[in-house]
Amino acid sequence: MGTLYQLDPILQTPGLAADRPVRITERAVKARQGAQQRLPITIVEDEPERMVFMGDVHGDITAFQDCLEVAGLIDEEGAWAGGTTVLVQLGDIFDRGDDDLAIEEWLFLLAEQAAEAGGAVYHLLGNHELMNIMGDHSSASKESFAPFVELSPLVETWMNENTALLEKVPKWAWPRLAAMRASGPVAHMMAGHSVAMKIGNTLVVHAGILREHLEPQRCGGVTNGGVACLELLNSVAANYLLNGGGMPQEMLWGRESPVWTRRYSMPDGKALAKDAEEELIAVLEATGSIRMVVGHTPQSAGINSAAQGKVWRVDTGMTKAIGGKPEVLEIRKGGEISILTKAGRVSAEQRSADTNKLTGWF
């Protein structure tokens, strides 16, 4: 299974115990063997007492840790301290920053610990996860390739059999490309991540669900099957990650796909156009939801809502490359909504793009 690499001092993350290992090789082996494989969850019927939503962190482990801390979800050792809280990370863990694989592993560890405490951690697929699965690592930092060397024993045979495919790529990049390819060990680890899910009455997706995503021709002929379409979407994505083959372009890719659309996130920090709001309302009605939470498009004013709270945009651009601030969205049972920041709690009303002129940070 290879040796374990340490989260510290390699990443030198403040606040984490230096002896906290990242057992990425162990976990990848078990995922490939099916011992820990689970299919994506589409529906969580009961509304949790407390939900926390985290946007894109793009390999910035400091921003990731800051989000966990402002939400009170971890202790000084980086272990779960959120009790029955449900944490949803909306994808785009990968690319740009150096620590994407370590964040992925940390989320897995937190999910195990949260389940034992009666809580849950869900991690959605974003466009950058799928880009890497498809072999596009153009947005990855050079430093982020290093931890994948740990997985070399799992992908050595594949690399030896595909040298012609890899010959134009530096050898130091081979383990990451091999491990993250569709049907590879890291893809197997991520096959349990949903594209979209509904928790209580909240619909969550990386970029957005549009009316066209719920049309019968996209949903195996199912009519009036909003949630059934989401289940099919998750199933198709999981099958691709587990087994490889061609990317299901119509369902997962393209400018207006669930991981790429910016329909509900633009204009940045401003109210939705009338047609976008009408589409949002139609999708919420079709899925039996009262709100949608999305990431993907950085909001220069931080987390904000539009369409009278029917959509929340939680990508704050909280990476060194963009310069946004770490924030999370908190929704409590009964509908109380707050934005949690390092400076304190902000009310939902203060971040309504419908009624406020929101000022950007970047």
| CA 42 distance to own-chain centroid | 14
Q: How confident is the model at residue 120 (pLDDT cuts 50, 70, 90)?
A: very high
Domain boundaries, the chain: 39-146+182-351
- The stretch 134-139 carries a mean pLDDT of 94
> What whole-number distance in Å separates Cα of residue 130 and Cα of residue 135?
9
What six digits make up the tokens of 227?
């949630």
What's residue 3's pLDDT? 26
Average pLDDT, the chain: 89
Model confidence over 54-85: pLDDT tens digits?
Answer: 999 999 999 999 999 999 999 999 999 999 99
Q: Could you give the CA distance from residue 182 to residue 136 in angstroms, rounded to a whole number?
A: 12
Name the percent of the chain lying above pLDDT 90.
Answer: 77
pLDDT of residue 124: 98
Strand order in the sheet with 304-306: 43-44, 196-199, 202-205, 291-294, 311-313, 304-306
Looking at residue 31, its pLDDT comes to 67
| Residue 14 confidence (pLDDT) above 50 | no
Each residue's pLDDT tens digit, 249-268: 778 888 999 999 999 999 99
Beta strands in the chain (DSSP E): 5-6, 21-22, 43-44, 50-54, 86-89, 120-123, 196-199, 202-205, 291-294, 304-306, 311-313, 327-332, 337-341, 344-347
Amino acid (one-letter) located at 201: N
Does the pTM of the predicted model rise above 0.85?
yes
The pLDDT assigned to 8 comes to 33
Predicted local confidence at residue 114, as pLDDT: 97
Tokens standing for 308? Answer: 């009278």
- Give residue 36's pLDDT band: very low, low, confident or very high (50, 70, 90): low
> What CA–CA distance (Å, rounded) separates 95 from 98?
8
39-146+182-351 in CATH: which number?
A: 3.60.21.10
Do 351 and 302 contact (CB within 8 A), yes or no?
Answer: yes
Closest CA to 177 of 140, 138, 137: 137
